[in-house]
């Protein structure tokens, strides 16, 4: 313990971070290369597809048979996982504002995530954050963000109102969202389901939140996006599919919607 | 949007493409230009050289193995960063059971008032050790490597405003932890 006042300036922080860094062993590069030399690279069927002209007809047929066999084994494995009594995927467990909240992604969801570049930012310390995770292509142009708007210690994009943890989807839509002018009026809403749960999707044009604090201005969908609100056992969750521009979003939407449909919520508050 | 800064150099795109087809020399070029920075990032996040060495080695081998599956090769660096962060996260989770806090290392460049700065450094270090991987990553990238917020957002695949907000949250978390350690 220390009763001195420590002023955490940018320079002080940078200095401490520098003190934590080290330089790599001079031999490390050659170690990595040697290890890579012994490591077989992965390949995908679509990679083979790109090289198909180089293969003979017989070779293509052999590859096709092999691919079918692999897919069959994969589907059999999925079936085994999904059968009652089969191995259960380990869920990601998070604590949202003292609210136990769990989610997982089905097997095909995991596959999709690896194609998307993995979940970029599952949040671990949620004392002030509401984002559960953001997945995307890793370029900042498009993504899917899952968050809990109500009960946040941040007002989000909801008219600087702090919604209580008990807020319902209707509260979020009626009391806050619909009255939020800077983001624009929602132009369309549709009903759908995510994980078998009733959900309402709203189109969100590009806009900014009215907050005076810069870090609160762009939270859920600062860029064009579709916000889907649903109730997970008493917890309002918003799933935002966003893109940098309308065109990017339109291109991203089918894949993103496919990903969203792989989300499985294990439960909200007890 | 701005390009991700850092170690990208002339011929990188070609090296990525060649490495994806199994060209070891091209892969070596890619590693050589990124190794030091990746190691500094991992060691700053983890505060432990041995762990950083394991993580960085695993990340580059995983990159070599999975490179043919990378659909957009222009995103190689974002992809590499995501893997580095994930490996750091795994390491910190494993460490939670047998926590090893590496304190007491003196700053490389302590400045004029050495005694006060070292004392403060210990406090800030201890506070930093309480942060999540994501918070550590953001602070290291922005305050150590001086990566602008827009480029951070690009690396993380999130909107710029969200990156700004998360960076603020990371800084706030560090200040709260610092307060708790006083």
- What pLDDT score does B110 carry? 38
Residues A148/A130, Cβ–Cβ less than 8 Å: yes
Chain A residue numbers touching B131 (CB-CB < 8 A): 125
A218 part of contact set with chain B, CB < 8 Å = yes
Q: How many Cβ atoms are within 10 Å of A189's Cβ, its own excluded?
A: 16
| Distance from the B121 Cα atom to the nearest Cα atom in chain A, whole angstroms | 6
Binned at pLDDT 50, 70 and 90, residue A17 comes out as: very high
**What confidence score (pLDDT) does residue B30 get?**
95
Q: What is the 3-state secondary structure (H, E, C) of chain A?
A: CCCCCCCCCHHHHHHHHHHHCCCCCCCHHHHHHHHHHCCCCCCCHHHHHHCHHHCCHHHHHHHHHHHHHHHHHHHHHHHHHHCCCCCCCCCEEEEECCEEEEEEECHHHHHHHHHHCCECCCCCCCCCCCEEEEEECCCCCEEEEEECCCCCCCCCCCCCCCCCCCCCHHHHHHHHHHHCCCCCCCCCEEEEEECCEEEEEEEECCCCCCCCCHHHCCCCCCCCEEEEEEEECCEEEEEEEEECCHHHHHHHHHHHHHHHCCEEEEECCC
- Asked if A4 reaches chain B (Cβ–Cβ under 8 Å), the answer is yes
Query: Within 13 Å of residue A135, how many CA atoms lie on the same side as its CB?
Result: 23
Give B75's contacts in chain A (Cβ within 8 Å).
117, 137-139
**Residue pairs between chains A and B whose CB atoms are closer than 8 Å:** 233
Cross-chain residue pair A222–B161, CB shorter than 8 Å: yes
Query: What is the overall mean pLDDT for chain B?
Result: 77
Q: Best of B157, B161, B165, B180 to disrupt the A interface by mutation (most A CBs within 10 Å)?
A: B157
For A231, half-sphere exposure in the C-beta direction (CA atoms, 13 angstrom radius) is: 13
Residue A152 has pLDDT above 50, yes or no: no
Higher pLDDT, A71 or B34: B34
Give me the pLDDT at residue B157, please: 65
Q: Does A138 sit within 8 Å of B155, measured CB to CB?
A: yes
pLDDT of residue B4: 36
* Amino acid A174: pLDDT: 55
Whether residue A120 lies within 8 A of chain B, CB to CB, comes out as yes
Share of chain A above pLDDT 70, in %: 33
Name the residue with higher pLDDT: A22 or A95.
A22
Highest mean predicted confidence (pLDDT) among A46-60, A109-123, B164-178: B164-178
Q: Which residues of B touch A35 (CB under 8 A)?
A: 57, 61
Out of B36, B160, B182, the one facing A23 most closely (by C-beta) is B36
From its phi and psi, is residue B47 left (phi > 0), alpha (psi between -120 and 50) or beta? Answer: left
Are B69 and A47 within 8 A, CB to CB? yes
- The answer on pLDDT for A200 being more than 60 is yes
- Name the residue among B47, B78, B173 with its Cβ closest to that of A138: B78
pLDDT digits (tens, 9 = 90+) for A91-136: 333 333 223 334 444 333 333 333 333 343 433 333 223 445 556 5
Taking the Cβ of residue A207 and every Cβ of chain B, the question of whether any pair is shorter than 8 Å is answered with no
Contacts of A215 in chain B (CB under 8 A): 161, 164-165, 167-169
pLDDT given at position B28: 95
Residues contacting residue A70 through CB under 8 Å, at least 6 positions apart: A45
Task: Assess whether pLDDT exceeds 90 at residue B120.
Answer: no
CB contact under 8 A, B128 and A2: no
DSSP B69-134: G-S-GGGHHHHHHHHHHHHHHHHHHHHTTS------PPPSS--S-HHHHHHHHHHHHHHHTTS-HH
Q: How far is A202 from chain B (nearest CA, A)?
A: 19
pLDDT in tens, B12-68: 889 999 999 999 999 999 999 999 999 999 999 999 999 999 999 989 998 898 787
The distance of A28 to chain B (nearest Cα, Å) reads 8
pLDDT for residue B165 is more than 90 = no
Whether the per-residue pLDDT at B125 is higher than 60: the answer is yes
Tokens 């690009």 appear where? B154
Chain B: nearest CA to A7, how far in angstroms? 9
How far out from the chain centre does Cα A2 lie? 40
Q: Please report the pLDDT score of residue B158 as a whole number.
A: 67
Residues of A in contact with B86 (CB under 8 A): 118
- In the predicted model, is pLDDT for residue B111 greater than 50? no
* Confidence at residue B23, expressed as pLDDT on a 0 to 100 scale: 93
């Amino acid at each position: 313990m220390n009763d001195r006042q420590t002023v955490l300036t940018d320079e002080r922080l940078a200095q401490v971070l520098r003190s934590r860094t080290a330089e790599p062993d001079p031999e490390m590069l050659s170690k990595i290369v040697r290890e890579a030399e012994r490591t077989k690279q992965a390949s995908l069927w679509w990679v083979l597809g790109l090289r198909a002209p180089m293969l003979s007809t017989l070779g293509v047929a052999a590859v096709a048979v092999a691919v079918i066999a692999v897919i069959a084994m994969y589907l059999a494995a999925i079936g085994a996982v999904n059968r009652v009594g089969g191995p259960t995927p380990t869920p990601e467990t998070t604590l949202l504002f003292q609210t136990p909240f769990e989610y997982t992604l089905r097997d095909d969801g995991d596959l999709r995530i690896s194609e998307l570049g993995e979940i970029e930012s599952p949040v671990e310390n949620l004392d002030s954050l509401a984002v559960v995770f953001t997945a995307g292509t890793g370029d900042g142009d498009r993504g899917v963000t899952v968050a809990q708007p109500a009960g946040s210690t941040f007002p989000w994009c909801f008219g600087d109102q702090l919604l209580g943890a008990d807020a319902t989807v209707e509260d979020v839509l009626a009391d806050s969202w619909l009255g939020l002018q800077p983001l624009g009026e929602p132009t369309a809403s549709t009903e759908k389901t995510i994980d078998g749960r009733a959900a309402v999707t709203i189109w969100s044009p590009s806009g900014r939140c009215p907050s005076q604090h810069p870090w609160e201005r762009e939270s859920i969908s600062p860029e064009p996006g579709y916000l889907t609100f649903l109730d997970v056992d008493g917890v309002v969750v918003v799933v935002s599919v966003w893109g940098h521009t309308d065109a990017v979003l339109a291109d991203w939407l089918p894949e993103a919607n496919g990903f969203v449909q792989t989300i499985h919520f294990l439960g909200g508050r007890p | 949007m701005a390009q991700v800064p850092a170690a990208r150099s002339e011929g990188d795109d070609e090296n990525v493409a060649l490495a994806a087809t199994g060209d070891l020399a091209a892969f070596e070029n890619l590693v050589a230009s990124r190794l030091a920075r990746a190691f500094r990032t991992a060691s700053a996040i983890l505060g432990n050289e041995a762990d950083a060495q394991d993580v960085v080695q695993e990340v580059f081998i995983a990159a070599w193995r999975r490179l043919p599956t990378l659909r957009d090769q222009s995103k190689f660096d974002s992809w590499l960063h995501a893997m580095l962060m994930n490996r750091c996260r795994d390491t910190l989770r494993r460490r939670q059971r047998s926590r090893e806090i590496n304190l007491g290392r003196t700053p490389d460049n302590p400045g004029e008032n050495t005694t006060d700065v070292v004392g403060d450094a210990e406090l800030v270090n201890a506070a930093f050790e309480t942060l999540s991987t994501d918070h550590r990553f953001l602070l290291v990238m922005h305050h150590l490597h001086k990566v602008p917020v827009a480029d951070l957002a690009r690396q993380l695949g999130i909107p710029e405003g969200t990156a700004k907000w998360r960076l603020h949250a990371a800084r706030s978390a560090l200040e709260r932890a610092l307060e708790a350690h006083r």
